[in-house]
A and B are shown apart, each in its own frame.
Chain A
Amino acid sequence: MPDGSYAHPQQRQFNPYTENGGTILAIAGADFTVIAGDTRQSEGYSIQTRYAPKVFRLTDRAVLAVNGFAADGNMFVKKVKQRLEWYRHAHAKDMPLRAIARLIQTMLYAQRFFPYYVYNILGGIEEDGSGAVYSFDPVGSYEREACRAAGAAQSLVQPFLDNQIYFKNQQLPPGQTRPLHLSLSDVLSIVIDSFTSATERHIEVGDGLEIYVVLAKGRGPQGLEAVRGAQELTTNAEGDRVFIVRRELKKD
């Protein structure tokens, strides 16, 4: 309009979401699982902090990595932990991994029409002692997989994992068969390589790396002895065990 006003009422909607960058990843072995995430939190081109954890120990056999909108992520983790505590009070034991996976689906889908804008990867040990990874979309669709990457550098890391874990596009020498499961030391190398590479090529990835290793009950620490600075977080020595390994990533 000539007077500078608008002919139609204008609506600018408040956007309740943002993206806080970062990448997470999890790989399941035969009797272990590795869950990792970088520690950078950013918004746009600004690095907000170089240390904001995205991976959380839920129980001695379950670790949850959360990526996307940090405020939703933190709130979601807080509520999952609360539900697990209530379960402990009611049943005097930790919730099994597959039950946590279904719980997470239910909690995510409950917010179907105002979703938690987060991609979840749950890793740990099943009741049968096998390593497991569950991946979720923001509204709760989920599946069990051998490996999964999510977040800002998913498109860089997932193809690498497809190649290294699932041996996609690899022509094996005649007579050689591919192993069904990789060793822990191989998996740790792949995880660290994934993050150093993602840090090189993606601006939202870097600063620090937190790697959680969950070992099935009775499994020795083979593959972990040589790892520098592995720290045990297990609360009950009888069952599965959780370790954390920290590494620096480039900060530029």
Chain B
Amino acid sequence: MTSIGTGYDLSASTYSPDGRIFQVEYANKTVENSGTVIGLRVKDGIILAVEKLVHSKLLVPESNRRILTVDRHIGMATSGLLADGRHLANRARDEAYNYREMYRESPPLKEVVQRLGLYVQAYTLYSSVRPFGVSTIFGAVDKTGPALFIVEPSGISYGYHGAAIGKGRQIAKTELEKLKLAELSMREAVFEAARIIHLVHDDSKEKEFQLELSWIGEETKGLHLPVPKDLCEEADRKAREALETFE
């Protein structure tokens, strides 16, 4: 790492001579080493899927959720530092609430994401703070239809048809590109999402992981809800089978 020992990587408020902010890049490293998170924007909704790496068998199943709810119709999934993700979720809830209070309607995702981008970006400006060690996939079905965004540690945000962050993002993105996202139903997308998470999981390096799935759309009457247990298990099983025939 060229940055180490140069002294330009000690503060988010210092540029390196070639115009980089190493603290932000380190934050991205945190995300790159974390479990894969993907989001699918399909015909009538959004699917969020997480490869939640479980570091101990003693943990209660379904604890430390990486998929969080922001508003009735907005969900988010974080990759990186879990606690930072929770903090961002709280901030996102506040922003959604403020929008509601001001305009008396449910907030469009774009608005929440832009405001959250501003917040995250502010943590790249000062020597007294550390940039957020998370990338977040936001999903919602709002008045514009299904919407999917990523907010990165730099504070930048883009909209996507299919989004992937974390360890296995490269493989996941290639897989997402193969899909006809605009034609997929929510149910079909759940199976694809589960398959991709299983595909990118590296059995040799990581031991256990738990598949977290949530969706928003016609199936849920516009609410952000966990994918029902039976469907989740079916998708999990099918994904394992597909992997076995694939290899």
Do the two chains touch directly in the complex (Cβ atoms below 8 Å apart)? no
Interface on B for A, CB 8 Å cutoff? none
